[in-house]
Structures are given as structure tokens and as C-alpha cells.
Structure 1
Amino acid sequence: MYKSAFKLYLSDPVHAGQATIGCFNGSSLSLTCVTNAGKVFVHTPQATNIDGDNQVKYLNVNKQISCIASGTIDPMLRRDVLLIGTPNNLLAYDVEENRDLFFRDVPDGVTSCLVGKLGSLSTNLALIGGNCSVQGFDAKGSEAYWTVTGDVVSAMAFANFTNNPGKELLVGSKDNEIRIFQNEQVIEEILEIDEITGLCPVYSSKFGYALSNGTIGIYNSSRRVWRVKSRHTPKCINSFDLNGDGVPELLSGWSNGKFEVRSEKSGETLFKENFSAPISSVLCADFRSNGREEVICITEDGEVKGYLQADSTIGKTIEDSKKSAESLSQLQHLRTELQQEIKMYQNANFQAEFSNPGQAKVDTKISVYIEKMQGDYSLRLVIKSAKTTAIKAVVVEADGIFANEVTFYPFPEEKDTAFFPVTLISRMACVISMKVLLGFPLSNFYHAVNAEIHLGKLTSFVPAPSDLRSNFPASYVKFKVKDTIQRFVSWVDAAFQTNLTSTTNYNKDTFEMGFVSSINKMPLVLTFNANESIIVISTDDMSLAGEVVQDFASFLGISELESVNDFPKEMEEFQGVLQDVESYNAVRLTISADVADRTGAIKELVIKGEEARILQNMSAVRENYRQLFHLNKDMVAEHEKKALNHKALVDSLKKVNNMIQKASNLRVGKAKSALVTSCRAAIKANNMRTLFKLIKQGTA
């Protein structure tokens, strides 16, 4: 179906996920990869030397490389620039001129990089993902963009998430969330069940994603279209219209050497090929400069294979035949189901002749709901069937709830009502899918009924007794709204899956409702003051308060919301983090000064030692090199101190960025993005008093 365009073998192995293609000379494309030894090589097929061999340029970075990317960030150059990210620095390198465009220290670290135009910005930026932050640099290396995320950035991509002009930035992080940024503002958050390892645009508002647990799939905006899971790990994903039908497919490379092409509509496998080594990267470009874009699959042992797009007429024929095959398969499946149903009815009639219990009716209805137990603040799932039928067993499937994702619960008592506990491990929206096996008591025939129930982020909270006021959380967030108690209670019912609408007295001036988390038993109190139109969310967890605010604003369609808050315990811890950052920076400067002094002493000792050797003064040679040996040991010890200090500094900076992220989630709209910008300015100016005021009040 798919024609192989070319195959070649590189002289060096390729590090996983670290390959890019760029037009570095302005006319032809070059494949750039990172070797396992930390070197960067640039392979240009069109450039040949006298012997006719492909020329390969090597770049020695002499640092651990965390990511690479290529793209145009300086329109005056009219060619691509190579971005090389290391744990602490970003290098923008002009391959053609063999010079640095800029070199920047990045205290937040560099874990992912990308080149492109974000939202309303007029020029391309070099976007860098790090510890809870995303930074953007222009062609001069000046910071032109900065925002915060919830954890270390593990993947980034541009996509037209909203189907509006301009593209949004998709950011995946190690806290299992995909955040969609429109300029500095987060417009959507999607929580997955494991770390995000890959993101790519597919078609229109669709984008692909990959997780570290072996899952790949496609979202259409915030709605999941499909997903599949493998016991192997996806190394990379991309999209390309390989079958020529006008719609890109999702391409994926795996740790077992498998290259897959899947339909963007259903996830059906259209093509696959196995390589002898894990796939490093899957790229798309006109690599051979013949006017035809190709899919380029690169393995970690250096094998490179290209695939051509199928002819459009062939692609249409394949698509038509595929639809016909799907229709035929559906009809055959329906015929099999009907035959099995007829057979079951025949068996049931045979049993009825001997007065044995029969089978449950095909149209038997069941009801499924979550019951919240106030005694121990736990949740359980309740399944009810018609009184004439018994529940034999249930097969439950859900992500992030059960250890094996699929769990089988038998019910030996065979009653019309069944219960089983639901133990949530995080505040994560999910869908519990079930197959309930029904039948008459003592019958050997079952009827499987499908059912599902949706759990929201706040479903894990159980209503608490009215005397929770004595244990009121000391921390809170407070904001003013233009809504009624009725709408507020409607949101509470929808978010917490309660039934307060029919029991609430709407004539009261104040509505108050307490909850306790079934996960960690943390209290949460919601208060609505009807006279002042003020809502107070009381909890000691700032992250939880932010989730409640965002859910409330989303449900009621609020686009702008300002708030004030007071979280004394978290702010006290944050003050300690800021003091740690200041201390670690002071230690870093001291160590750097000591290293500079020792470096000068080393140079002096080497010169003296060589002079003594030339003069054949062996005692002076031994003395100089003895001092040099001890000085080198001191340098190694200082390097270890510097490494430990840097790790502690990065961890503290991550906590600082995380606090800004939590504080921004207490606001909505312009107030949210303005807070992030103002906090960044306060940190740069080392104005901690203003930073604290911004976090609490939103303005300085």
C-alpha cells in the first residue's frame, strides 16, 4: 500500500526523540540528530565531497543534550536555525555560518523545545519548556514570552484547537495534564492517566497524544475521539496524509521497533512495519528536494527509511474499498449476534419445558449511580436491575481507579441490587464502563447489559454533616459574582453529583455546604452570601481551590473573574522556598568565584611545572604537580557541590513556578494572565513583597 522511497544507514546511533530536519543553508534540507555520546551531526544528502560520499558535519556541544529543534526565528537570515537545549542552557546555532545566534542561561531548565508563532505574536519564537514554565526567545535571545504550567514540560506542539485564526500551544507535562495556551492564558486543561510524552497536530482541531504507559490517541478539541494501548512504549508521534485521501493519519514509532499508521477517525491500523531497533523519531519533509514530501522513520541504531504518499486516486479507491469492507464486517457481526440470540432463545424455551428458570429479557433495564457514604466518607457504585432478574457479576473498566484498569466483580448472592466500592486515587474526571451480567436466579444463561457513569473532578467529595463549621478550614478564596443561589446550587449538584436543588431553601440569605474528600479526608466548605453576591471557598489546599474556581467559571460561562485569597500555611512554606532560592543563588555565585580562582591557580601551576621540566628541575616539577593534583581534587569536590546546589535550586524554582500556577488558577480571563506576567516581573526585580501581594490580591 505504501511505497518505500529510500533507505540509508547513518554512521552513528541516534538518541531517542532527538532528531529534526531543517533548511540550514536556505536551499536544501538536512537531517540533524543527537548521538548517544552527546554529539550533534548534520546529514545533508545533496552535499557531496570529492569522493561522492554524503557530507556529515559534527558539532561538539560538550554538554548533556536534552532536546533539539529547528526553524526560522530570524526572518533576515532566510534559513533555519538549530536549537540545542541542555539542562541549563539554550543555544541557537547558525549551521551555515558556523556561529552562535545566541546563548542563554535558562534557570528553569530545558526539557522540550519548539519553533513557531504563538497566537497573536507577529514573529516566530524559540519556545522552551522547563520546570513548570514555558519561555519564548526572539532572534536576539531576548525573552518575549513566559508562562507557567503545573509540572515539568515533557511535550509541546502547535495546533488549531479552537478552529480560530492563529494556533494555540499544546503543553504536556509530567503531572499527566495537557494544557492549551492561547497566548499566556490557559483555555483548556485535559487530565490523562499518565505522563504526556508526545503531542502533534493532526487535522483541523484534532491533535494526537502519547503517554508513557503505552497509550496513543486523538482528541478533537477537548473530546477524545479514540485511543489504543500497547504493552510497549510510544517513542514518537506525528501526522501525515500517507494514503492520499486528503486527511492526515496518526504516525507512531514504538520501543519495540514498530512503525504504525492509524486512521484519525477510528484508530484502525492502516499500515505497520517492524524495524530491528527502537524508533527514535518520525519526521515529515521533502528530504530529497524532489518536490514530494515524505515520511522519514529513524531508528536508534541509525537506520533511516522514507515512505512516499500514495497517489490520490489510489487513496480514494482504498478509502472506498475500506468503507465497503467496514459495512460488510458490520453486517457479518450483526448476523453473528442475531444467530447467537436465536440460539439463546431456543435454549431458554428448552429449559422452560422442564420448568427451569430462563434467561433475562434482552430489553432489561438497569440503573447505575454513585452513592456517597457519610459515615466513613467513601464512595460506592450501586447497580439496580428489575426485581425479577438477578445481577450475577459485573466487569468494570476505568482509567485511574483500578490497578488493572479492568476488574471483575462476582455477586454470589444473586440479588437485584449490587454494590462495590469505588476508590479514587486522584481528582480526575473519568468514565466507568460496565458490562452487567443479568439472569434469573439459578439460571446458567446470562444477558450482558452495557452501562456507564461519568465521574467529574469533584465527585470524590462527600457531603459532610452540618456541624462541620467547627472544623472550618482556615484558608479561603473569595470572589464576587452576578448570579443567584439557584444557579450556584445547580453548579454544586452538577460538580459534586449531589441532589440539593429539591431540598434547598432559596429564601435564606446564606447558603453553606460542607464536603469531605474521600481521597485524603480534606474538608471543603462552600458559602454563598446572597446579599453581597460573594462566594467563599474554604479549603487548606490552594490547588483544590483553583480547580473549584475553574469548574465554577466553566459551568456558568464566566469569562472574567478576580479574587482575593488567604492561604497562610502555604504562603509560609512559599516564603521558605524563596529564602532557599536566595540562599542557593548565593552559594552558586560563591562556588563560581572559587572555581574561577582555582582555574587561574591551575593555569599558573601548569606553566610553572612545564618551565621546571624544561630546566630539568625535577624537585620543582614534583612540587608543582603535587599541588596541581590536590587542586584538581578540590575542583572535583567543588563540582559535586555545585551539582547538588543546582539540583536543589531547580527544585525550588519549580516550587516557585508551581505557586504562581496555583495562584493564577484562582482567577479567570485577563486577571489570570495578568497575574502570571506581574509575578514574573516581581521575581525578576527580586521584589518579594509585591509577589506576595500579587498572589493574595491579584494586583500590586
Structure 2
Amino acid sequence: MAIPIFTLQLNHHILPGRVTIGKYDGSHACLTAATTGDKVLIHSPHRRDKEFSLLNVNQAVTAVCAGHLNPEDDKDVLVIGTKSTLLAYHVENNTDLFYKQVPDGVNAITIGRLGSFEKPLVLVGGNCAIQGYDYKGDDPYWTVTGDNVRSLTLLDINHDGENELVVGSDDFELRIFKEDAIMMELTETEAITALAAFRNNRFAYALANGTVGVYDKLHRAWRVKSKNGAECLTCYDLDGDGIEELVTGWSSGKVDARNSRTGEVIFRDILSQPIAGIVTGDYTRAGRNQLLACSYSGEVRGYDSTSINKDDSVQTETVRDLFAKKQSLLLQLKNYTADATTIGIPANTRLLTEILVSNGTKQVPKGHIELCLSTNNLTVIRAVTVFAEGIFDGETFVVHPNESQVNTTVNVPLVPPKDNPLDIHIRAFVGTVANSEQFHVFELTRQLPRFSMYALNHPPKLDNTLFETSFVSFRLSERIQRIEMWVNQNFLLPHELNSTNSSAEWNIALKSLRDGCNLQIKYDTGTMIIATENMSLAADIVQSLSNYLNLTQLQTFAEFPKAFEEVNECLNKVTELQQNATKMAATVADNTNLIRSLIIQAEDLRLLQCLKDMRECYSELYQVNEEMIRTHTVRRSNHEELLESLRQINLIIQQAARLRVGKVKSDVVSLSRTAISDNNINALIKIIKTGEM
């Protein structure tokens, strides 16, 4: 257990994930947290006369962040986000820098320099959109992402001297933006709830299922999973070796620090309540930063390098090494003392694996992928453990046949929920029929292709109307053999494609095992056509093919009538909902003035002892209040519908951008924003079609 260097009580209930720290006077660190009752608490330990102060936000706080925003001012700014607004507040001067309506909502905030922007930005993630504001309240940055943004962080991941933006969202995707262009997409197995950047090019992430891990550049270094939820992350050099550790606050109240290179735990402590936030700052004015952990109940504990008992850490590592050596020696001893008279497993026993596409079986009626395991002799498979991220509940599936049902083959059904390449880790226990206690363990890894849930049509008949109604087409100068190699690597086919004529027309027809939708790919004299009604699937294929062929620029033509119709409906609905919101806001303002006058009138009547008129006044006040409650319910429903419509528009823009590569891809986003601000539906549809205004 760790030893905190100080503890304190904030005496307020703290909201999870809404804790930050800032130097609002330019020199002293102040702990800041959102509390219940729509308030923000600021604790200033250097002010003995007024340590605690409360800001009334009057709206539910969804995110808080403190940082240096004005280049000409050395004081940090406090930024507070709600479901529909953003406030930048200068704490020291007690003034608002700016107050903005944010229709997409505020789910996550970070402050810093992004790309080539000269001034620091407040980067706000909301409903499929990301906006950047400077200290004047201008928004020079806007882009869209695939789903609701849950977390943001800034770091220079490619060592070019400019920060990239890492975005975690509800669609299980980690997207890395180079300004407004997506540089890389990394797929995880759950929604990304927290991100933290190290001083080098690594960053940490936390998932909704209790997983935490670290990426080194674009490659995952390690990951661990807990039954508890990871509430918050930060990076802090706890052991004083010059390398930051990953510090995690858990829903169980545990705080632990892990070696950022290996994931090994070097520090832990437990608070009485779940952890609401973890921040770092020189809170005790000792000349160096401390680590502060804040619980739901408002308990705060501070730690530094003196909190770790280094002797215990060394002892734990020694015991771990000795235990590993013990297990290795026991295994060798078992081999040395094996009874030679028993009939053992043949030395040439092998475990054979095959991955096939199945349209359904008696056990699993729906289409799925079949992992077929078998042995090369009469040995039987007694049990199989399959580990695959995001496929099974708990990520592990165990097949253990009854003694009477053991066989030389075992089939495991797999249904990947998304089109992502997956590593399948297999552990099979192979033994003889005669001896159920003696077995050999085979461990191996197989990879599922990205588009494994698409099976060849039988017969392979093309639907030419699909090529004319819902498709994306583009020119390619690549030889047809390279395209076929991409198909063979990304789809599960009964036999590999192999064209002998490089100029021949080539096509393939597939059907989704999830929803039965058709996918057709055609290549003819340098033109590639991907025909499907699923715009997201077409975008995934374009991105996969572009990465395989190392394409830096790709312009396409897209025809997706359903998406165009949805954009039209959503934009018209947004206009109508915004008009309704304006009308209801005016009604609320009128009713507010009426309530104010009725209260004053009722009080005057009470003083004049006109009780009958006073009762009538209060009766009218009650009716107006009931009307206000009904109006509030309608406004909330109206706002939720508005958010959903904006989300669908942003999602379609994101998919339209992913149908292109390079500068054209980022141009689609910026041009779409202009078209939406001008309420020009025809221009927006043209941008989605051609990538141009």
C-alpha cells in the first residue's frame, strides 16, 4: 500500500471525470471539480482566508478543463462545458472570456496547440463533431468523427514538432487527426472513455469494459483488463526514474500506477469511494508536482516519489521471478519422471486449423465464421479456449465436450461485430481416448481478415442495377493482380483469385452474413466500382484498399440515394427544430416575466389582506408554472431530436470524407461545414457525390 503525503476533504460530492487543476493566478495550483447541484468547486490551498469557492453554472456540467489559452497572459483559464454551452472563465479576474452555444454538446475538453495553429485552442468533442475555439471565442477549427466523442488528448505522435489530436469515441475507434485530416484509425473493443498523453510519442487509453493500455506511436505496447471500470487516467513520474508511469483511478476506489513500457504495477492505494479524477500539480508549493487522487465523496489524497516503498517493490519482483523459475522446474521434473510404460501422445501430433465461412448450421442458424480444429492422428481434442477481442462476452469462449462426445475435430462459431482484422488466440487440450488425465496443450494464433463476414454468392450473379444506383467509383493505375491480392487478404474465399490477364475485366459478388446486404466489386480498364447500399462499408473498403496500395491521394464519385435523402430530411428537420427552439425560448421568457410579476402581485395582495385576489393570483401562478414544466419537457425532447439529427448529418459527412484519401478527404469536411452554415442542401449533396463544391 502507498503512503499519501497529505489528505483533505472537499466536503462536496464530485462528479466522475470532471476534475482538473489550474494556475489561475499564474503560479499557484488550484484543484477544480464539478459537483452536484450544477456547481463547480475551486479549492485554492494558498488562500487561507478563502480556500473554497463555488461557481453556479445552472446547467449540468459535462466537462471541465483548465489550461493556458491566451498567449499574452500567463494565467490559466477554466473552461466549463454543458450539454449545449461552453464557458471560458477567467477565475482571477472573475470575468467570462467567452460564452458559446454548442449545438453538438460538450462531452470532452482539452486545451493546447494543435498542428500549425499559432494560438492555443479549446478543443471540444461532442455529438460526432470537434470544434476548436481560441481565447477570443472564434472557432477556426471544426471537423467530424464517426460517433459521439468521449475523450481527447494532444501529443506529437510523429515527432514533426506539431501536436496531433487523438480522439476516442463511442464507435470503438481511436482516430488521430493531423489538424482536420485523419492520419490513422485504430480499432478497440469498446468505447474509449479516457485518454492521456505521455511526454514522448506514447499515449494511454481506457475502455468502457475496464481495459487500460498504452500505444507506442501507432502500435499497442500492452493492455490489461479489470472487472472494475477505469474512471480516469493521467501520466506521472511516481518512482523518480525520469519516465512517467500510467496512473489509473478505478470505480472500486483503487489508484494504481503501472510501468508505461511493461504494464507492471509499481504502486497502489485504495480510497473509500470510486475515483472521480486524478490530476498533477505543485499543490504543496514544494517546487515539484504531486499526484492528486479525488474520490466521489470529495476525499483528496496526494502522493509523490516518497509514497512508494521501494523495498516492497523489489521484493515483489523477486518473488515473481522465483515463482516463474519454480513453475519451469516443475514442468521439467514432470517430463523427467513420466511413466514410460504408459501409452502417451504421439510425438508427431499436430493441431490443424481452418477458417471457413458458414451460411448457418443447426447449432447456429445465422451466418457466421467457422473455426475448424482437428488433429492429424487419432488423438482427440478434449477442450478448446478461444480468446478474441470484441467477439465473445468476456472475450473468451470455452468448448469442453462431454467424455462421450470428444472427437478429433471441434468447430467454434465466430461472429465479429465489426469489419476489423482480429487476432484469435487458440489453446487446445489434446489427448488420447484411453487416458483423460494426460494431454498436451497447443497454443497458436490465427488472424481473421477484415471483411471476413462476407461470403461469395452462389451462383456468383452480379446485380447490375446496384452498380447504377448505390456505388462509389474511382480510377486506379494498379495492376489487377495487386487488387486481387488485397481481396485474398481481406476476404474469406473458398479459393484465391488469380487473373492471368492484367487487362481483363474482373468482378466479385458477396453477401453480408450479418444483414444479408449485397456487396459487389468490379474492376474494368482502370476503373474500380464498389457497389453497396451501405455507405459505411464502402468507406471501409476504400480506406483498406488505399492503405494496401499506399495511395496518398484518391478522388472518387459516390452515388448513395438513401444517404442523400437522409441528409435532406435531417437538414430540414434541423431547421424546423431550431425554429421550434426559438419559439419556445421566447415563450419561456414571456412566462418568466409573467411569473415574476405574479409573485410580486401576490405578495402585495397578501400585505393588503386581499386574500381572495391573492388566491386567484396564486392559482394563475400555478397554471403558468405547469405550462413552464410542460414547455421544458417539450424543449428537452426537441433538443434531443436536434442532437440526433446533427449526429446523423455529421456521421454521413464523416463517411463521405472516408470515401476519399488525402487532401480531398479533408476538403469534404471543410466544404460540408460551409454548405451546412449556408443551409445549402444541394451543395452538400454535390460535395458528398464529387468531393467538390
- Within 2, Cα distance between the matches of 1:618 and 1:332? 90
Equivalent position to 1:341, from 308, 315, 335: 335
Equivalent position to 2:686, from 688, 693, 696: 693
Q: Say which is worse superposed, 501-510 or 152-161, in terms of deviation.
A: 501-510
- Within 2, Cα distance between the matches of 1:162 and 1:232? 33
Give the alignment of 1:128-527 within 5 angstroms.
Answer: 128-202=124-198, 204-309=200-305, 328-343=322-337, 346-347=338-339, 349-351=340-342, 357-361=343-347, 364-373=349-358, 378-387=368-377, 389-410=379-400, 415-444=407-436, 445-470=438-463, 473=466, 474-498=469-493, 503-507=498-502, 509-527=504-522
SS of equivalent residue, structure 2 residue 44: strand
Q: Say which is worse superposed, 135-144 or 637-646, in terms of deviation.
A: 637-646
- Within 1, Cα distance between the matches of 2:528 and 2:413? 33
- Within 1, Cα distance between the matches of 2:499 and 2:458? 15
- Within 2, Cα distance between the matches of 1:681 and 1:657? 13
In the alignment, structure 1 residue 544 sits paired with structure 2 residue 537? yes
Q: Deviations over 1:654-687 (max 9, x none)?
A: 1111111111110111111111011011111111
- Within 2, Cα distance between the matches of 1:672 and 1:63? 37
- Summarize the Cα distance change of 1:197–1:405 in structure 2 as closer, same or farther, 3 Å threshold: same
Which position in structure 1 is the counterpart of 2:14?
14
Are the counterparts in 1 of residues 128 and 147 from structure 2 also a CA contact under 8 Å? yes
- Within 2, Cα distance between the matches of 1:414 and 1:631? 74
How far did residue 16 of structure 1 move? 1.3
Q: Say which is worse superposed, 75-84 or 592-601, in terms of deviation.
A: 592-601
- Summarize the Cα distance change of 1:234–1:220 in structure 2 as closer, same or farther, 3 Å threshold: same
Amino acid of the residue matched to residue 355 of structure 2? I
Are the counterparts in 2 of residues 168 and 180 from structure 1 also a CA contact under 8 Å? yes
SS of equivalent residue, structure 2 residue 5: strand
- Within 2, Cα distance between the matches of 1:129 and 1:331? 49
- Within 1, Cα distance between the matches of 2:622 and 2:113? 52
- Within 2, Cα distance between the matches of 1:45 and 1:668? 51
Amino acid of the residue matched to residue 20 of structure 1? T
Q: Deviations over 1:125-175 (max 9, x none)?
A: 111110001111110111121111111111111233323322211111111
Are the counterparts in 2 of residues 393 and 436 from structure 1 also a CA contact under 8 Å? yes
Amino acid of the residue matched to residue 481 of structure 2? Q
How far did residue 587 of structure 1 move? 1.0
- Within 2, Cα distance between the matches of 1:690 and 1:601? 45
SS of equivalent residue, structure 2 residue 627: helix
Are the counterparts in 2 of residues 191 and 429 from structure 1 also a CA contact under 8 Å? no
Amino acid of the residue matched to residue 491 of structure 1? W
How far did residue 630 of structure 1 move? 2.0
Amino acid of the residue matched to residue 569 of structure 1? K
How far did residue 329 of structure 1 move? 4.8
Which position in structure 2 is the counterpart of 1:37?
37
Q: Deviations over 1:588-623 (max 9, x none)?
A: 111122222333333444444455455554444444
Q: Deviations over 1:571-598 (max 9, x none)?
A: 2122222221111111111112222233
Which position in structure 1 is the counterpart of 2:80?
84
Q: Deviations over 1:32-52 (max 9, x none)?
A: 111222211111111112xxx
How far did residue 690 of structure 1 move? 0.6
Amino acid of the residue matched to residue 187 of structure 2? L
- Within 1, Cα distance between the matches of 2:426 and 2:393? 16
TM-score (norm 1): 0.92
Q: Deviations over 1:452-486 (max 9, x none)?
A: 11123212212223543147634111111221101
Which position in structure 1 is the counterpart of 2:661?
668
- Within 1, Cα distance between the matches of 2:3 and 2:594? 63
Which position in structure 2 is the counterpart of 1:65?
61
SS of equivalent residue, structure 2 residue 61: coil
Are the counterparts in 1 of residues 108 and 124 from structure 2 also a CA contact under 8 Å? yes
- Within 1, Cα distance between the matches of 2:227 and 2:148? 25
SS of equivalent residue, structure 1 residue 216: strand
Amino acid of the residue matched to residue 541 of structure 1? N
Are the counterparts in 2 of residues 208 and 218 from structure 1 also a CA contact under 8 Å? yes
Are the counterparts in 2 of residues 200 and 239 from structure 1 also a CA contact under 8 Å? yes
SS of equivalent residue, structure 2 residue 420: coil
How far did residue 195 of structure 1 move? 1.6
Q: Deviations over 1:295-347 (max 9, x none)?
A: 111111111111112599x98x999888776655543332222123323xx23
SS of equivalent residue, structure 1 residue 371: strand
Q: Say which is worse superposed, 144-153 or 417-426, in terms of deviation.
A: 417-426
Which position in structure 2 is the counterpart of 1:48?
48
In the alignment, structure 1 residue 640 sits paired with structure 2 residue 617? no
- Summarize the Cα distance change of 1:318–1:64 in structure 2 as closer, same or farther, 3 Å threshold: same
Are the counterparts in 2 of residues 368 and 451 from structure 1 also a CA contact under 8 Å? no
Q: Say which is worse superposed, 161-170 or 234-243, in terms of deviation.
A: 161-170
Percent identity, aligned pairs only? 33
- Within 2, Cα distance between the matches of 1:607 and 1:3? 58
- Within 2, Cα distance between the matches of 1:578 and 1:27? 48
Gaps of 5+ in 1: 352-356
Are the counterparts in 2 of residues 426 and 519 from structure 1 also a CA contact under 8 Å? no
TM-score (norm 2): 0.93
SS of equivalent residue, structure 1 residue 84: strand
Are the counterparts in 2 of residues 458 and 496 from structure 1 also a CA contact under 8 Å? yes
Are the counterparts in 2 of residues 391 and 439 from structure 1 also a CA contact under 8 Å? yes
Q: Say which is worse superposed, 571-580 or 302-311, in terms of deviation.
A: 302-311
Aligned residues: 683
- Summarize the Cα distance change of 1:337–1:472 in structure 2 as closer, same or farther, 3 Å threshold: farther
- Summarize the Cα distance change of 1:627–1:388 in structure 2 as closer, same or farther, 3 Å threshold: closer
- Within 1, Cα distance between the matches of 2:244 and 2:507? 51
Q: Deviations over 1:199-250 (max 9, x none)?
A: 1113533221111111111222332222222211111111112112222111
SS of equivalent residue, structure 1 residue 287: coil
Q: Say which is worse superposed, 184-193 or 594-603, in terms of deviation.
A: 594-603
How far did residue 689 of structure 1 move? 1.1
Are the counterparts in 1 of residues 230 and 251 from structure 2 also a CA contact under 8 Å? yes
Q: Say which is worse superposed, 143-152 or 460-469, in terms of deviation.
A: 460-469
In the alignment, structure 1 residue 581 sits paired with structure 2 residue 566? no
How far did residue 498 of structure 1 move? 3.7
- Within 1, Cα distance between the matches of 2:634 and 2:122? 32
Are the counterparts in 1 of residues 194 and 233 from structure 2 also a CA contact under 8 Å? yes
Amino acid of the residue matched to residue 62 of structure 2? S
SS of equivalent residue, structure 2 residue 143: strand
How far did residue 89 of structure 1 move? 0.2
Q: Deviations over 1:28-83 (max 9, x none)?
A: 1111111222211111111112xxxx621111111111110000111222100001
How far did residue 410 of structure 1 move? 3.5
